[in-house]
Amino acid sequence: MFAPARPVRAYERVVEQIEAAILDGKLLPDQRLPSERELVKEFAVSRSTLREALRVLQSRGFIQSRAGDPQGAVVQHFSTDSLRGSMAALARVEHLTLLELLQFRVMVEAWTCRLAAAGRSDEQLEEMDREMAAMRAHIGGDSEAFAEADLAFHAALARAAGNKLLEISGSVVHDVVLTLVSSKITASRNRRKQMQESCERHARVLSAIREGDPAEAARISYQNIVDYYSVYLVAADRQRLVDMGAAFGADPAAAAGSVGS
Amino acid sequence: MFAPARPVRAYERVVEQIEAAILDGKLLPDQRLPSERELVKEFAVSRSTLREALRVLQSRGFIQSRAGDPQGAVVQHFSTDSLRGSMAALARVEHLTLLELLQFRVMVEAWTCRLAAAGRSDEQLEEMDREMAAMRAHIGGDSEAFAEADLAFHAALARAAGNKLLEISGSVVHDVVLTLVSSKITASRNRRKQMQESCERHARVLSAIREGDPAEAARISYQNIVDYYSVYLVAADRQRLVDMGAAFGADPAAAAGSVGS
DNA sequence: TTGTATTTGTTCGTATGTATC
DNA sequence: GGATACATACGAACAAATACA
């Protein structure tokens, strides 16, 4: 009959109200909040309490405040940063293995390719072509710029798939995998060759998408990940990644062979 | 040559240090932090600044503090709450459609079933049997208890798949879908029949897993989601969900037919 | 370019309710 | 129940940063 009456912290009620306003669209991105001193009056709390609330909102990515800004804090556009942070923490604390991350990435990218192959528009195809060309232009150049172009291509591909959740989760796990692997890379020998191979693979995926062949697009994207990352896996984990290929009709022998090369 | 000299907020350095200590395992779950007043001396900041830092850490799920506790804040076990929060915010702010969520869920659950069918141990099989029995025991009873048993089964299944990332993302998106759909459910007619059907479907998935048939397990889990949720989709979106079935060798006619029933 | 006013960042002191012994 | 140490909350003050005249 009665609800629990545990004390609700003052700062928490402030957070709830502002968060709800943003989530409900009553406060839009780039809009400004009133100054701290005005909010103090409005919420009838002390400045310290209000500031604790603003800090929490800031850490969740809802607002951003700068020292000395005569206007108040800025309502932020939605960002996946906090999602990335949570996921990165998950990877560290729960000790996610590289295999687990790669399995997830194979799953997401294969489905992204499938959906893109089935439903891409001509404009989206052109956009992917442009990003592909941009990647080619960076072959042999700065590896950071190449990685950026690679990311842009993946983003275009994800948009063509028409699923924002897929797009975001793909980019998040992409990041986490890279940070995990980058610590293991001693020296990237044959950078130029690697870039060329990467472009070639992306081109094959794009070709399958252009021809509207979901199964083939998924298979190639899977194969790309296996070829690129399986060297970082121990034998048992590598086998489990190769086993995923059955779902794509991949040739197990070819997968195993490419690892040895 | 020179690094940017933008001011780093005091509270941020406190957050970084404590967060790093937890992430590195120097501070373990259930351990206590020193009291605020001691931390004030250690970090050489004021009480307010320190409290802002603690609030941020609390909102990220790293610590939990209680008023009057003679000991300090408690380091929390890793929780997916902040991940859930970020994802729920994503669903609201980015206006994720039910189709997008269901596509994601189909993908995750199908792969979970695949991996479980390929790699489950006998103990894991027994555990899933137990959860299955628990679900059956709740047929016709409290629908909340049934939903809990359902969740427990999915968790056991995810553990059998051996991928924590799959397990967590599956449960998160499961939650988000339910909150999105629950607002549309006016009255759950035929609750008993729904529960029985749900059990039957779960049993078929479990059977395929027991027999080590990944493709069949994935196909059934896909079909279950289509049958259960497609009534909430508009025709165009429903078709796109049905189109996913091609990846599982599902019969398009059967999928379309079950919607009309 | 240089002040000046305003705002946020930070500190300190104090009062109050709470959990543990 | 009382004593003690704690987190919570408030308010005033100063320092640093920003925007604008």
Domain ranges of chain B: 10-75, 81-260
Residues B28 and A206: their CA atoms lie apart, in Å, by 47
Averaged pLDDT for residues B122-128: 91
Nearest CB to A56 within list B55, B86, B111: B55
Instruction: Mark yes or no for CB contact B100/A214 under 8 Å.
Output: no
Q: Which of residues 64-123 of B have CB within 7 Å of strand C? A: 66-70
What residue ranges in chain B does DSSP mark as E strands?
63-64, 74-75
Decide if pLDDT at B258 tops 50: no
Decide if pLDDT at A186 tops 80: no
B248 CB inside 7 Å of strand C: no
pLDDT attached to residue B1: 60
A8 CA to D13 C1' in angstroms comes to 29
Q: Which of A165, A116, A159, A214 is nearest to B170 (CA)?
A: A165
Q: How far is A237 from chain B (nearest CA, A)?
A: 12
Residues B105 and B172: their CA atoms lie apart, in Å, by 10
Mutation site for B-interface testing, chosen from A36, A59, A94 by largest number of B Cβ within 10 Å: A59
pLDDT attached to residue A261: 39
Q: How many residues does chain A have?
A: 261
Decide if pLDDT at B257 tops 50: no
Q: For residue A52, which residues of chain B lie inside 8 Å, CB to CB?
A: 51-52, 55
Decide if pLDDT at B3 tops 80: no
pLDDT band at B52 (very low <50, low <70, confident <90, very high): very high
pLDDT band at A1 (very low <50, low <70, confident <90, very high): low
pLDDT attached to residue B261: 39
Nearest CB to A92 within list B23, B51, B243: B23
CATH architecture of A81-260: Up-down Bundle (1.20)
Joined together, the tokens standing for residue A83 give 């999602």
Residues B255 and B243: their CA atoms lie apart, in Å, by 10
Q: How far is B81 from chain A (nearest CA, A)?
A: 9
Q: For residue A244, which residues of chain B lie inside 8 Å, CB to CB?
A: 114
pLDDT attached to residue A132: 92
Residues A85 and A94: their CA atoms lie apart, in Å, by 14
Averaged pLDDT for residues B198-222: 92
Averaged pLDDT for residues B29-46: 91
Q: For residue A82, which residues of chain B lie inside 8 Å, CB to CB?
A: 82, 86
Give the residue from chain B lying closest to A95, CA to CA: B164
B47 CA to C16 C1' in angstroms comes to 17
pLDDT in tens, A138-170: 887 787 888 889 889 999 999 999 999 999 899
Q: Which nucleotide is nearest to A65 (CA to C1')?
A: C8
Q: Which of B25, B48, B27 is nearest to B37 (CA)?
A: B48
A68 CA to C4 C1' in angstroms comes to 13
Choose the most confident range, by mean pLDDT, from B134-148, B159-173, B181-195, B241-255: B159-173
Averaged pLDDT for residues A192-218: 90
Residues B131 and B153: their CA atoms lie apart, in Å, by 5
Residues B85 and B19: their CA atoms lie apart, in Å, by 19
Give the residue from chain B lying closest to A86, CA to CA: B83
A69 CA to D17 C1' in angstroms comes to 8
Decide if pLDDT at B108 tops 90: yes
Looking at per-residue confidence, does B171 or A189 come out higher? B171
Instruction: Mark yes or no for CB contact B83/A83 under 8 Å.
Output: yes
Going by their DSSP bridges, the two strands B63-64 and A74-75 should be labelled as unpaired
pLDDT attached to residue A257: 43
Decide if pLDDT at A255 tops 50: no
Instruction: Mark yes or no for CB contact B247/A7 under 8 Å.
Output: no
Q: Are A13 and A39 in contact (CB under 8 A)?
A: no
Residues A183 and A257: their CA atoms lie apart, in Å, by 26
Q: How far is B251 from chain A (nearest CA, A)?
A: 16
Give A170's contacts (C-beta < 8 A, 6+ positions apart). Answer: A105, A108, A109, A112, A154, A158
Q: Which of B139, B96, B110, B136 is nearest to B209 (CA)?
A: B110
pLDDT band at A13 (very low <50, low <70, confident <90, very high): very high
Number of CB pairs, chain A paired with chain B, less than 8 A apart: 124
To the nearest 10°, report the CA torsion of B137, B142, B144, B148: -10
For the ranges A160-174, B40-54, B113-127, B131-145, the lowest mean pLDDT is seen at: B131-145
Averaged pLDDT for residues B101-128: 93
pLDDT attached to residue A256: 46
Q: Are B93 and B141 in contact (CB under 8 A)?
A: no
A32 CB inside 7 Å of strand C: no
Count of C-beta atoms within a 10 Å radius of residue A171:
18
Amino acid at A46: S
Nearest CB to A90 within list B22, B48, B168: B168
pLDDT attached to residue B104: 96
Give A201's contacts (C-beta < 8 A, 6+ positions apart). Answer: A220, A223, A224, A227
Give B17's contacts (C-beta < 8 A, 6+ positions apart). Answer: B43
CATH architecture of B10-75: Orthogonal Bundle (1.10)
Nearest CB to B104 within list A56, A165, A246: A165
Averaged pLDDT for residues A236-261: 72
Q: How far is CA B175 from the centre of its chain?
A: 6
pLDDT band at A188 (very low <50, low <70, confident <90, very high): low
Q: Are B90 and A168 in contact (CB under 8 A)?
A: yes
pTM given for the model: 0.85
Q: Are A157 and A115 in contact (CB under 8 A)?
A: no
| C-beta contacts of B63-71 below 8 A and 24+ residues apart | B63/B18, B63/B22, B63/B33, B67/A7, B70/B35, B71/B32, B71/B35
Q: For residue A15, which residues of chain B lie inside 8 Å, CB to CB?
A: 59
pLDDT in tens, B78-107: 888 888 888 888 888 888 899 999 999 999
Q: Are A116 and B243 in contact (CB under 8 A)?
A: no
Could you say which DSSP state residue A183 is in?
T
pLDDT attached to residue B46: 93
Decide if pLDDT at B139 tops 60: yes
Instruction: Mark yes or no for CB contact A55/B55 under 8 Å.
Output: yes
Q: For residue B64, which residues of chain A lie inside 8 Å, CB to CB?
A: none
Angular region, B234: left φ>0, alpha ψ -120 to 50, beta rest: beta
Q: How far is CA A13 from the centre of its chain?
A: 31
Residues B159 and A79: their CA atoms lie apart, in Å, by 31
Residues A172 and A126: their CA atoms lie apart, in Å, by 25
Q: Which of residues 11-30 of A have CB within 7 Å of strand D? A: 11
Cross-strand partners of A64:
A74
pLDDT band at A172 (very low <50, low <70, confident <90, very high): confident
Angular region, B96: left φ>0, alpha ψ -120 to 50, beta rest: beta
